[in-house]
Amino acid sequence: MPMYDKESSAAKPQFEMDKDQEDRFVRFVERMPARTDGLVRLFDRGDYFSAHGPDALLIAEQVYKTTNVLKYLGSPSARPGSSSSAKGLPSATVSMTLAKAFLRDCLTTKQMRVEIYEPVDGAGGRKNHTQWHLAKQASPGNLSQVEDLLFAHEDLLANAVSMALRVYIKDGVRTVGAAFVDVQDKTIGVAEFPEDEHYGNTESLIIQLGIKECIMQEDAKHVDHELAKVRTLVERCGVIVTERKASEFQPSSVVQDLGRLLNDTHPSVLPEHDLKQAMSALSALIAYLGLLSDSLVHGTFKLHNHDLSQYMKLDASALKALNLMPNPELGGNKNMSLYGLLNYCRTSQGQRLLARWLKQPLVNLHSILERQNIVGMFVDDTVTRATIQDDCLKKIPDFHRISKRFHRGQAGLEDVVRVYQAVQVLPRIIGYLDEVKDANPEHGQVLDTRFTDALRGHSDMLDKYAEMVENTIDLDELQNHNFVLLPTLDNELQRYRDDLIGVRDQLDAEHKRVGRALGLDLDKKLHLENHQVYKYSFRITKAEAGLIRNKKQYIELSTQKSGTIFTTETLRELSEQFSDLQEGYEQKQRHLVKEVVQIAASYIPVFEQLDDLIAALDVILSFAQIAVSAPIPYIKPTIKEKGSGDVVITGARHPCLEVQDDIQFIANDHEMRKGESEFHVITGPNMGGKSTYIRQLGTIALMAQVGCFVPADSAELPIFDCILARVGAGDSQLKGVSTFMAEMLETATILRSATRDSLIIIDELGRGTSTYDGFGLAWAISEHIANNIRCFCLFATHFHELTTLADQLEWVKNLQVRAEVRQAPEGSKQDREITLLYQVVDGHSDQSFGIHVAELARFPESVVKLAKRKAEELEDFGDGPAPEPKLPKTEVEAGTELMRSFLETWRSRTEGASEEQQLEELRRTANEFKDRFDGNAWVQKAIEGL
What's the pLDDT at 18? 81
User: Regarding beta strands 39-44 and 71-73, do their DSSP bridges make them parallel or antiparallel, or are they unpaired?
Assistant: unpaired
Question: How buried is 929 (Cβ within 10 angstroms: 0-12 exposed, 13-18 middle, 19+ buried)?
Answer: middle
Contacts 24+ apart (CB under 8 A), 883-892: 884/804, 885/801, 885/804, 887/937, 887/938, 887/941, 889/808, 891/936, 891/937, 891/938, 892/938
Question: How buried is 423 (Cβ within 10 angstroms: 0-12 exposed, 13-18 middle, 19+ buried)?
Answer: buried
* 829: amino acid identity, one letter: K
- In whole angstroms, what is the distance from residue 731 CA to residue 736 CA? 10
Backbone angles phi, psi at 303, to 5 degrees: -115, 135
- Supply the DSSP string of 104-155, one letter for each residue: HHHHHTS--EEEEEEEEE-GGG-EEEEEEEEEEEEBTTB-TTTHHHHSSS--
Percentages of the chain per state (helix, strand, coil), in multiples of 5:
50, 20, 30
- In whole angstroms, what is the distance from residue 268 CA to residue 254 CA? 10
- C-alpha dihedral, 594 to 599 to 601 to 605, nearest 10°: 180
What's the pLDDT at 85? 55
- In whole angstroms, what is the distance from residue 44 CA to residue 62 CA? 19
Residue 487: closest CA among 591, 600, 585, 579: 585
Helix axes 463-472, 453-461, angle to 10 degrees: 30
The string over 199-209, giving b where at least 16 C-beta atoms fall within 10 Å of a residue's C-beta and e elsewhere, is bbbbbbbbbbb
- Supply the DSSP string of 180-191, one letter for each residue: EEETTTTEEEEE
Please report how many Cα atoms fall inside a 13 Å half-sphere around the Cα of residue 222, on the Cβ side. 3
Residue 355: closest CA among 619, 701, 34: 619
For the chain, list residues with pLDDT below 70: 1-11, 75-86, 122-128, 155, 157, 220-223, 265-269, 329-332, 728-743, 766-772, 821-834, 846-887, 889, 912, 914-915, 942-946
* 185: amino acid identity, one letter: D
Grouping H, G, I as helix, E, B as strand and the rest as coil, residue 88 is strand
- In whole angstroms, what is the distance from residue 637 CA to residue 937 CA? 49
**How is residue 882 annotated by DSSP?**
P
What's the pLDDT at 48? 92
Helix axes 413-439, 399-407, angle to 10 degrees: 150
pLDDT by residue (tens digit) across 681-712?
A: 999 887 788 999 999 999 999 999 999 999 99
What's the pLDDT at 193? 93
- In whole angstroms, what is the distance from residue 50 CA to residue 41 CA? 9
What's the pLDDT at 9? 38
Report pTM: 0.80
What's the pLDDT at 601? 93
How many CB atoms are located within 10 Å of the residue 560 CB?
A: 10
Residue 824: closest CA among 846, 855, 798, 793: 855
Asked if 791 and 756 touch (Cβ cutoff 8 Å), the reply is: yes
- In whole angstroms, what is the distance from residue 196 CA to residue 243 CA? 23
Asked if 376 and 447 touch (Cβ cutoff 8 Å), the reply is: no
- In whole angstroms, what is the distance from residue 65 CA to residue 94 CA? 13
